[in-house]
A and B are shown apart, each in its own frame.
Chain A
Amino acid sequence: MRRPLLALVAMVALTVAVAGRQQGGLTPAQILKPSPESWPTFHGDYTGRHYSALNQINQTNVKGLSLAWTARLNTALQGATIGGFGPEPAAGAVPNANIKATPLLVEGMLYLATPNNAYALDGRTGRQLWHYYWKSQGGSNIGNRGLGMWGNYLFLDTPDQYLVSLDARTGKERWNQKKADYKGDLYATTAPTVVGNHVLTPAGGDYTDVPGWLESRDPETGALQWRWYGTPRAGEPGIETWPSAFAAERGGAAPWQPATYDPETNLIFVGTGNPQPVLIGDSRPGDNLYTCSIVALNADTGKLAWYYQVSPHDTHDWDATQTAVLFDAVINGRQRKLLAQASRNGVFFVLDRTSGEKVLTTQYLPSANWISGFKPNGQPIPNAAKEPQVGGALVSPHNGGATNWAPPSYSPLTGLFYVNTVEGYVVHYRTIGPTDVPNGYGGGAEHAVGGHGAALRAIEALTGKERWVHNYPASDGTAPRPEAFGGLLTTAGGLLFAGGSSGHVMAMDAATGKVLWHSGLVQQMSNTPITYMLDGSQYVLVAAGDTLYAFSVQR
């Protein structure tokens, strides 16, 4: 216990030192122990549980939950602060917002982002306070998961690979830092994670065979502090799992989701992306470390502490970037520090987060058919016959995965891990000749052939057993992408908030899955619900498309 304790002392000292450099806003100490009335990070806190200790809204009164306000994001550039180096957008060219971001709620104000845009709204009314627009030179606009915050500073990742810092009070740009050249098919969609005086931001992509990495930058200046590549370079450990440094350096593994963090061990936990080329593995025989892995990195140095590869030699685009959720439990009389991931490949993993040692692995997606067995360390063994075949291989899950980026939730009240899943199938074809070398997704073709629909599953975190399942009826006989259902939130009110299958948000009894309340939205819920408390009123906030909805129990 001595070393974690020392690390904690160091962390607190660092926190105090860092906090002294600015006035107001969100201190690192507040991120370490957030007030339940706030929602200061993508995950709410460092554990990634998407669990709130608020219980004003509970099983008894949730029937009375009603609309407090709605707000439609105004994408017009009139009055916006504009940054970036791309061309001026043509009139009307800025599309309606599609909110995938988890908003932050700090000192009564909401902060959120969509690709190239950042917004502040009043948490009591939804009134838009400022709008920042970044003129991208290119890159992918597929999504933005939100902002990171440190003091009065916000951090925005852009499609063309800049990290931009804004003043949270005004929406004015403080600085921007180029992370990589977007022309190399690199982009970022994440919400930056702030740990101590580190802003963690990834680079990656998947058009072509790109390197993926996570880097740490100084929140004051944006200066680079460290960079961790998702694949080894020549001479480094793990290179033996690649045929060459050439292959490894183009091997993907982008850690494109927000990290979780354990202050006692000073370790951050991130999942890494799939290997490249994505579907055809001929040119990369081996396990391809550290692709499709859960990795633990030292927050101050970026040095790898341990790794656990959930899909060795993946050929199905099943990255392992799903949230690594942290929780503690007593197992066989011993207090354990644990980490759980419901992975895109259909397998649920519980690891000891101090060592990466397996505690439990179990298949949670009934339809998953690519696993030929499990190694003693719990790693699934891929069935080579389910790699893309000339004649087609019928594979589940489909490209979207058993689950995807939309966050799961863990409730310490129920001990259940909640995750939105899809039992989808795809026929994987190999489309290239034996001597061709593919790039990116080339060489393979994925033909979706439906499936058994989407379902919310409640999994006992310590046994892997399914306690209950809620099938989304509108998805029967189809196989949508799992992120289409948004993320999940549990609360100390005994509630689980989820998106319905047809433009709803609903509250369920977290123990049983019984639906207790629902409300229609203008379209399918597109982000992850959060909850916060202002002036003694608890709010539940969700987004659907370009509109935010805040619910509360009227008093």
Chain B
Amino acid sequence: MSRTTFALSLGAAALFVAIASAQDPEHAPPSSVAGAIQVPATPPPPAQPAPVPGQAGQAGGRGRGAGGTPPAGGGGFGRGPAFDAAAIERARPVYEAQCGFCHGNDARGRAGGPDLGRSLVVLSDTKGKELGAFLRAGRPPAMPAFPGLTDEQISDIAEFLHQRFEAAKSRNLTDTMAPLVGDAAAGAAYFNGAGKCTTCHSITGDLAKIGSKYDPATLQDRLVNPRPGGGRGGQATTSPRSTRTVTVTLANGQTAAGRLEFVSEFVVTLVDDSGNRRTFTRNGDVPKVVVTDPLKAHFDMLRTFRDKDMQDLTAYLWTIK
């Protein structure tokens, strides 16, 4: 996506908020949503200062570095250390005044100075110890010494640089996510029409107040597939409404049915209505095994779902408060 398109999308989203408010008071977003960029999360984001990307506990990490060896650079993929937001705020003006001219205020390097994100001095540093020794001595001829920086300033700058690159390489940060770019009115039309959503769902029944239950990104993920799982960023969820059932028909014509607990090429296990667990050996097509998935329509939709319909639906469901 070009930057222009990005700006246009944001503009369009803001415009949509305005239009939706004017034309469709019932579906107007709550006044707490000031614009598309600010995304109330569940649970709500912490108070100011803003959440610091790279804080420990971010979801969706791949678990690099696990397994007995200290990870390089404090982790990765959003599982990095917690950062001191106050130190970063203190560091910013000092960094920009002392370092930014050569290394850029983004620390990605300029003609005068290298990219600090690829600097082994920075990547090897622990809490300003190595960085401090380096800054006090400099590296002639290009890198001047900074003997005047205090210990606190150096440790703040180190925190700023470590946080900067931890944040930049992390994925699945939701603090700036803004998927509310769709058209709620078009989403309503899709919901009630082409999308056939009303076959199973109702905004006054199972989907009542759905827009208050999830942040927009989670809402969108769940409308695509209420039972995601597997793959990076997926969060398995279960609901009685989405339980798969199975009917097993034996060679002698007897049948057994119940909740599908396990299936492979070679066995199928079900739990029947009485709570009894039964496992049947499979040999090719015998016995006959028919699995019923209430989410079949969602899976079928994956092959044809248009991004615009998905985004419009999200915008619509977000208004169901």
Contact = CB atoms under 8 A, between A and B. Distances in A.
A139 B172 CA distance: 22
A477 B233 contact: no
Contact of A442 (B73, B169, B303): B169
Interface stretch (B41-49, B117-125, B146-154): B117-125
B264 A183 contact: no
Interface in B27-76: 60, 62, 64-73, 76
B220 A282 contact: no
A474 B265 CA distance: 8
B230 A367 contact: no
Interface string A491-521: 0000000001110101000000011001000
A143 to B, nearest CB: 10
A477 B299 contact: yes
Contacts of A388: 1
Contacts of B307: 385, 389, 391-394
Contacts of B6: 390, 430, 433-434
B321 interface: no
Nearest to B108: A437
A75 to B, nearest CB: 9
Contacts of B265: 472-473, 500-502, 504, 506, 515, 518
Contacts of A188: none
Contact of B176 (A183, A431, A481): A431
Nearest to B73: A185
A207 B169 contact: yes
A246 interface: yes
A184 B123 contact: yes
A481 B230 contact: yes
B120 A479 contact: no
A444 B231 contact: no
A426 B305 contact: no
B293 interface: yes
B177 interface: yes
A95 to B, nearest CB: 5
Question: Which residue among A182, A184, A431, A437 has the maximum number of chain B CB atoms within 10 Å of its CB?
Answer: A431
Contacts, number: 266
A441 B170 CA distance: 6
B231 A141 contact: no
A151 interface: no
B230 A445 contact: no
B221 A427 contact: yes
B174 interface: yes
B69 A399 contact: no
Contacts of A432: 176
B112 interface: no
B65 A399 contact: no
Contacts of A408: none
B19 interface: no
Given A390-B179, A393-B307, A207 B69 contact: no
Q: Which of A187, A396, A479, A514 counts the most chain B CB atoms within 10 A? A: A479
Given A208-B169, A445-B177, A477-B299, A394 B310 contact: yes
Contacts of A435: 3
Nearest to B242: A477
B42 to A, nearest CB: 15
B229 interface: yes
A451 interface: yes
A448 B317 CA distance: 20
Interface in A369-403: 384-385, 387-394, 396, 398-400
Nearest to B122: A183
A352 interface: no
Interface stretch (A8-16, A41-49, A85-93, A192-200): A85-93
Nearest to A250: B118
A478 B229 contact: yes
A518 B77 CA distance: 38
A448 B73 contact: no
B263 interface: yes
A450 B232 contact: no
Contact of B310 (A89, A139, A392, A433): A392
Q: What size tier do the contact residues of chain B reach? A: 35 or more
Interface string B206-232: 000000000001001100110111111
A119 B115 CA distance: 41
Given A183-B72, A185-B123, A501 B232 contact: no
Contacts of B230: 424, 448, 450-451, 478-481
B171 A441 contact: yes
Contacts of A86: 69-70
A446 B225 contact: no
A494 B1 CA distance: 49
B83 interface: no
Given A93-B68, A437-B106, A438-B168, A429 B231 contact: no
Interface string B167-203: 1111111101111111000000000000000000000
A141 B69 contact: yes
Contact of B177 (A142, A431, A441, A476): A431
B224 A427 contact: yes
B244 A477 contact: yes
A102 B293 CA distance: 38
Contact of A398 (B60, B124, B231): B231
B120 A184 contact: yes
B85 interface: no
B231 A392 contact: no
A439 interface: yes
A440 interface: yes
A400 B1 CA distance: 23
B233 A447 contact: yes
Contact of A431 (B10, B174, B224, B266): B174
Given A87-B70, A138-B69, A445-B174, A481 B231 contact: yes
B121 to A, nearest CB: 10
A115 B67 contact: yes
Given A446-B171, A478-B230, A159 B73 contact: no
A260 interface: no
A181 B72 CA distance: 11
B9 interface: yes
A311 B9 CA distance: 26
A140 interface: yes
B177 A138 contact: no
Contacts of A384: 1
A183 to B, nearest CB: 5
B97 interface: no
B316 to A, nearest CB: 13
B311 interface: yes
Interface in B126-155: none
A477 B293 contact: yes
A94 interface: yes
A345 interface: no
Which A-B residue pairs are the 3 nearest by beta carbons?
A: A440-B169, A448-B231, A448-B234
7 contacts: A93-B68, A116-B69, A185-B73, A448-B228, A474-B263, A480-B230, A502-B264
Given A394-B224, A435-B3, 18 more contacts: A87-B70, A136-B69, A141-B68, A183-B124, A184-B118, A185-B72, A391-B182, A394-B305, A425-B302, A437-B106, A445-B60, A448-B230, A449-B228, A450-B224, A450-B302, A472-B265, A500-B266, A502-B262
Interface of B: 1-3, 6-7, 9-10, 13, 60, 62, 64-73, 76-77, 106, 108-109, 115, 117-118, 120, 123-124, 165, 167-174, 176-182, 217, 220-221, 224-225, 227-234, 244, 262-266, 284, 291, 293, 295, 299, 302-303, 305, 307, 310-311, 314
